[in-house]
Amino acid sequence: MAQLSLRGIKKRFRETDVLHGIDLEIGDREFVVFVGPSGCGKSTLLRLIAGLDPITEGEFLLNGQRMNSVPPSRRGIAMVFQSYALYPHMDVYENMAFGARLMGLDKDQVEAQIAEAARMLRLEPLLRRKPRELSGGQRQRVAIGRALVRKPEVFLLDEPLSNLDAALRSDVRLEIAKLHRDIGGTMIYVTHDQVEAMTLADKIVVMNAGRIEQVGSPRELYETPANTFVATFIGSPR
Ligand code: ADP
Ligand code: MG
């Protein structure tokens, strides 16, 4: 069974249609990358999956269960944002503990899960630092760690590298690929960067103006792009 099913998903903000009917199946443990130009609806779609915004029309199922009206905290889905949005007055440990406590975990469970997340993301030496005492790459690893502590089935990452300089970008990208191998969760990753998409994805979803243009493996998209938009975007020589 596909783990996530999007069926005819539409999103309208006031008068504006932003998503025009998204149909997609995402399998358990798949690493799916959404690519497409700025404004095509990538972040909007992630927010609907996370439950941060209501779906206007269509259905979203997780493991066969309809999620449309399930609150975000009960979906087993965690989101990592582009701007890490850490609490400046809390240290790394507290930042990671905050969401876990909101989920109702007790102190010992929170501690054990932070220890595990810190080990996986090499954050142990940084646990007592404040966000302002961290580099951009370290901050983004804390933001990922904060999501990991909640032990989600599904990770949503919205352009997690876009605020990092080039050197850090490849570090954090490798960290994310390693995390996916280690935890075996499903990853849904948004970027407008073709290189990130080609190197990370099992499956790439090319979006344009609120629609899906093509879904396929990096190789399929490169070798047999469905149209000129995909060919140009992926950079294949057609
Ligand atoms: P992307 O992440 O692909 O750059 P977004 O999903 O952020 O694109 O935005 C898609 C479109 O939806 C844009 O035209 C944007 O202006 C519009 N949009 C996003 N959020 C809102 C909102 N809360 N209210 C009105 N329009 C929005
Ligand atoms: Mg976006």
Query: Looking at ligand 1, which residue's alpha carbon is closest to its atom 7?
Result: 43
Q: Assess whether pLDDT exceeds 80 at residue 27.
A: yes
Please tell me whether the overall predicted TM-score, pTM, comes out greater than 0.90 for this model: yes
Beta-carbon contacts of residue 48 (< 8 Å; ≥ 6 apart): 9, 11, 19, 54, 55, 60
| CB of 15 sitting under 6 A from ligand 1 | no
Q: Using CB atoms within 10 A of its CB, is residue 25 exposed (0-12), middle (13-18) or buried (19+)?
A: middle
Ligand 2 center to residue 128 CA distance, Å? 31
Ligand 2 center to residue 101 CA distance, Å? 28
Half-sphere exposure of 217 (CA within 13 A, CB side): 4
In the chain, the amino acid numbered 127 is L
Per DSSP, the three-state class of 57 is: strand
Per-residue confidence (pLDDT) for residue 197, from 0 to 100: 93
Residues with CB under 5 A from ligand 2 (ion): 43
Provide the pLDDT confidence category of residue 2 given band limits of 50, 70 and 90: low
Query: Looking at ligand 1, which residue's alpha carbon is closest to its atom 5?
Result: 41
Provide the pLDDT confidence category of residue 236 given band limits of 50, 70 and 90: low
| CB of 46 sitting under 6 A from ligand 1 | no
Cα–Cα distance between 232 and 221 in angstroms, integer?
11
Per-residue confidence (pLDDT) for residue 31, from 0 to 100: 97
Cα–Cα distance between 209 and 17 in angstroms, integer?
10
Q: 171 near 177, Cβ under 8 Å? A: no
- Ligand 1 atom nearest the C-alpha of 37 is 3
| CB of 47 sitting under 6 A from ligand 1 | no
Q: 37 near 211, Cβ under 8 Å? A: no
- Ligand 1 atom nearest the C-alpha of 210 is 10
Q: What number is the average pLDDT over the span 5-19?
A: 97
Q: Which tens digit of pLDDT belongs to each residue from 170-217?
A: 888 998 999 999 888 899 999 988 889 999 999 999 999 999 999 999
Q: Which tens digit of pLDDT belongs to each residue from 138-168?
A: 998 999 999 889 889 999 999 998 888 888 8
- The tokens for 61 are 């199922």
Per-residue confidence (pLDDT) for residue 187, from 0 to 100: 96
- Ligand 1 atom nearest the C-alpha of 158 is 2
- The tokens for 165 are 């300089």
Per-residue confidence (pLDDT) for residue 129, from 0 to 100: 97
Ligand 2 center to residue 107 CA distance, Å? 35
